[in-house]
Amino acid sequence: MNLIDALPFMGGLLIVSLTMMGLSLPMKAGQLSRNSLVGIKTKHTLASDQAWQKGHTAAAPLVLRAARVGFFALFCAVILCLVQQFSIAFALTGLGYAVTISLLLWSTRVANVAAQEASSEEVLPGKD
């Protein structure tokens, strides 16, 4: 394993982490409107605009955490590359992918539950 083998793998995690960082901010602020391109798309988050907003607001902290984990794994992998430990850097990047994807899957579950609750509140108005 050498640096040329590890760099594309690391670059992919960088792109994923940057994307998640960029999406987490509008998600948290409630500025990510329902669209067909980006967002957490489940049956419940797509049910209404309110469900979309509640789901994405609930998932934003986990999406931000996923980005931070990716960046941390990359930082450590770069340090390992500097000391020519390319195989370990490659493995650490793979671990970064695994944890990042796990957090993104968890955030999807959180968004779906929050959106489901928002949808049920719309159906049963009467809570004061």
For the chain, how many residues are written? Answer: 128
Q: Between residues 124 and 55, which one has the greater pLDDT?
A: 55
pTM: 0.88
Residue 2 pLDDT = 83
d(CA 26, CA 56): 9
Residue 124 pLDDT = 61
Give the model's confidence band at 10: pLDDT under 50 very low, under 70 low, under 90 confident, else very high: very high
Q: Residue 6: is its pLDDT beyond 80? A: yes
One-letter amino acid identity for 32? L
The domain locations on the chain are 3-30+46-119
State the average pLDDT for the chain.
92
- pLDDT per residue as tens digits for the range 59-114: 999 999 999 999 999 999 999 999 999 999 999 999 999 999 999 999 999 999 99
Q: Between residues 67 and 126, which one has the greater pLDDT?
A: 67
Do residues 70 and 90 make contact, with C-beta atoms less than 8 angstroms apart?
no
One-letter amino acid identity for 69? V
